[in-house]
């Protein structure tokens, strides 16, 4: 009996498949190169990320609506750069340093007591020299570093002041220059993100021309992982087809296939409905090239979990999907508030909505029970007037809750603290408030000013 065999792929199909693999392997480098090209050349000041940036930089979507994002790009090939930070006067500040493959390698700010006037020196992987005494120093794994800054406003009215503070951030190539004085800020211009929008449609010959340069400038670990696989695939493409329209067409189709695969892998990483509060920081047990590319896209711009710990929940205590057609509550026991050194915020995000419907947290004039218990209400319609400060407006349809801990404690990072479940009102008995809740209704409004230091708002060890 003669065994049947599959027909051999055409040269065009082989080139298309190889192009798909090249794009997926090099996607983190391509993405960060687009980030670099989006920034003005020789810029010394930061640029503000415009509204809607989370669509291109998904890691920003996990931040509070009152958080102002700004960023800059460092080129360390000619020597170290000094990052000058302003005094934020107690406001939360976090600066994340991201390498050429989109991986955060260091951070500092309020967590490290650098929210006062401070300088930090960032040096490239091959630089040798001395750093000015008393200045914080970081060794970057690549010459290209993307700096993402977050300053948390105290309220919506505080946004103007926060923007002025963010405009005082700057870069200097000189190691000998002292920190910049706290002068009147300049305008914080918006960053044009056209280059990032064009990632999926990059022309094949431009990508292949740039790819080897990007690999050579990548961190050593990325070079070892990518150099040989990409070189071999490129050589195989050149043996399949002669240079011309056919190879361009095959590779363009391959890039399109890769983009769809990355988007599908990113969608697959979204957690199903669960009553558990989970962190999106967890990586797959096994990293494949496509899952690594999806993670690079999903976490682009995200802070390190030591600075901001984000927890997500999209189902109530019985496992039902959260929806704006129901009413919910979160009931914290006395001394059981989210353990954060600086601040905590809770937001509700619709499945299709790009922004949250509102935010509530320790900056709000919350109504605290007479025994220290705190009840938060999540629903579309306003609750009773006396509990309206504790109300988080829910979006219509399915939604997800996000709790952010700015400066999380060691207990939160280790998993020793567990966020309480979301209770659907009406799911037990006749849906009327129980004893602790009725006592909460008779309480007075309080506003925590210094969470983590005030005895009434501290978290028990």
User: How confident is the model over 397-414, as pLDDT tens digits?
Assistant: 999 999 999 999 999 999
What distance lies between CA 281 and its chain's CA centroid? 10
Domain count, the chain: 2
* Structural domain ending residue among the three candidates 190, 225, 246: 190
Name the pLDDT band for 167 (thresholds 50, 70, 90): very high
Average pLDDT in the 142-167 region? 93
Judge whether 267 lies within some domain: no
pLDDT value of position 106? 95
Domain hosting 327: range is 305-457
pLDDT digits (tens, 9 = 90+) for 8-27: 678 888 899 999 999 999 99
pLDDT value of position 352? 60
Supply the CATH number for residue 312's domain.
2.60.120.600
pLDDT digits (tens, 9 = 90+) for 232-270: 998 898 887 777 788 889 889 999 999 999 999 988 877
DSSP codes of every residue in 426-461: TSSTTS---HHHHHHHT-EE---SSTTTSGGGPPP-
pLDDT digits (tens, 9 = 90+) for 215-238: 999 999 999 999 999 999 988 988
Judge whether 119 lies within some domain: yes
Judge whether 392 lies within some domain: yes
Judge whether 294 lies within some domain: no
Judge whether 54 lies within some domain: yes
* Residue 77 pLDDT greater than 70, yes or no: yes
Between 63 and 447, residue with greater pLDDT: 63
Identify the H or E element spanning 236: helix 220-240
Supply the CATH number for residue 64's domain.
2.60.40.1610
Name the pLDDT band for 433 (thresholds 50, 70, 90): very low
Name the pLDDT band for 119 (thresholds 50, 70, 90): confident
Q: Cβ of 199: how many Cβ atoms within 10 Å?
A: 19
* Structural domain ending residue among the three candidates 168, 190, 212: 190
Judge whether 175 lies within some domain: yes
Spatial separation of the C-alpha atoms in residues 126 and 104, rounded to whole Å: 19
> What's this model's pTM, rounded to 2 decimal places?
0.84
Spatial separation of the C-alpha atoms in residues 117 and 170, rounded to whole Å: 12
Between CA 99 and CA 111, with CA 105 as vertex, the angle to 5 degrees is 135
* Structural domain ending residue among the three candidates 138, 169, 190: 190
Q: Are residues 180 and 316 in the same domain?
A: no
* Residue 181 pLDDT greater than 90, yes or no: no
Average pLDDT, the chain: 83
Judge whether 384 lies within some domain: yes
The tokens describing 156, both together, are 């919506």
Name the pLDDT band for 376 (thresholds 50, 70, 90): very high
Backbone angles phi, psi at 31, to 5 degrees: -65, -45
Identify the H or E element spanning 419: none
Q: Cβ of 64: how many Cβ atoms within 10 Å?
A: 24
pLDDT value of position 4? 45
Between CA 55 and CA 64, with CA 61 as vertex, the angle to 5 degrees is 145
Q: Are residues 309 and 452 in the same domain?
A: yes
Q: Please enumerate in sequence order all residues whose Cβ is within 8 A of that of 265, keeping only pairs 6 or more positions apart, or say none.
A: 290, 291, 293, 294
Judge whether 395 lies within some domain: yes
> Which bin fits 51, alpha (ψ -120 to 50), beta or left (φ > 0)?
beta
Assess contact for 441 and 387: CB atoms under 8 A: yes
């Amino acid at each position: 009996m003669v065994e049947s065999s599959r027909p051999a792929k055409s040269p065009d199909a082989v080139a298309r498949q190889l192009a798909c693999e090249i794009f997926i392997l090099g996607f983190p480098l391509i993405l960060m190169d687009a980030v670099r090209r989006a920034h003005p050349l020789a810029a010394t000041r930061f640029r503000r990320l415009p509204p809607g940036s989370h669509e291109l930089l998904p890691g920003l979507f996990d931040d509070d609506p009152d958080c102002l994002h700004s960023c800059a790009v460092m080129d360390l090939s000619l020597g170290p750069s000094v990052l000058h930070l302003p005094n934020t006067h107690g406001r939360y500040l976090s600066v994340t340093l991201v390498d050429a493959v989109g991986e955060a390698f260091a951070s500092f700010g309020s967590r490290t007591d650098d929210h006062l006037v401070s300088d930090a020196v960032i040096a490239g992987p091959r630089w040798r020299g001395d750093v000015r005494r008393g200045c914080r120093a970081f060794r970057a794994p690549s010459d290209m570093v993307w700096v993402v800054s977050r300053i948390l406003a105290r309220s919506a009215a505080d946004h103007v002041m926060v923007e002025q503070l963010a405009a005082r951030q700057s870069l200097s190539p000189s190691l000998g220059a002292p920190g910049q004085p706290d002068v009147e800020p300049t305008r914080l211009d918006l960053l044009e993100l056209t280059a990032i929008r064009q990632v999926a449609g990059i022309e094949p010959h431009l990508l292949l021309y740039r790819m080897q340069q990007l690999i050579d400038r990548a961190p050593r670990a990325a070079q070892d992982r990518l150099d040989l696989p990409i070189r071999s695939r490129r050589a195989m493409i050149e043996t399949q087809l002669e240079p011309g329209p056919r190879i361009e067409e095959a590779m363009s189709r391959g890039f399109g296939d890769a983009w769809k695969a990355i988007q599908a892998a990113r969608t697959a990483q979204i957690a199903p409905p669960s009553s558990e509060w989970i962190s999106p920081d967890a990586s797959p047990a096994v990293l494949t090239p496509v899952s690594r590319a999806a993670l690079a896209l999903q976490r682009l711009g995200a802070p390190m979990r030591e600075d901001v710990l984000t927890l997500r929940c999209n189902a109530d205590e019985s496992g039902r999907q959260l929806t704006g057609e129901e009413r919910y509550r979160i009931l914290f026991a006395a001394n059981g508030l989210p353990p954060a050194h600086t601040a905590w915020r809770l937001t509700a995000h619709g499945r299709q909505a790009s922004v949250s419907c509102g935010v509530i947290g320790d900056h709000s004039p919350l109504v605290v029970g007479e025994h220290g218990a705190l009840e938060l209400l999540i629903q579309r319609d306003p609750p009773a007037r006396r509990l309206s400060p504790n109300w988080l407006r829910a979006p219509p349809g399915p939604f997800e809750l996000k709790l952010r801990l700015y400066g999380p404690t060691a207990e939160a990072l280790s998993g020793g603290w567990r966020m309480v479940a979301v209770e659907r009102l009406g799911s037990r008995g006749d849906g009327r408030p129980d004893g602790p809740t009725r006592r909460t209704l008779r309480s007075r409004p309080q506003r925590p000013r210094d969470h983590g230091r005030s005895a009434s708002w501290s978290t028990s060890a």
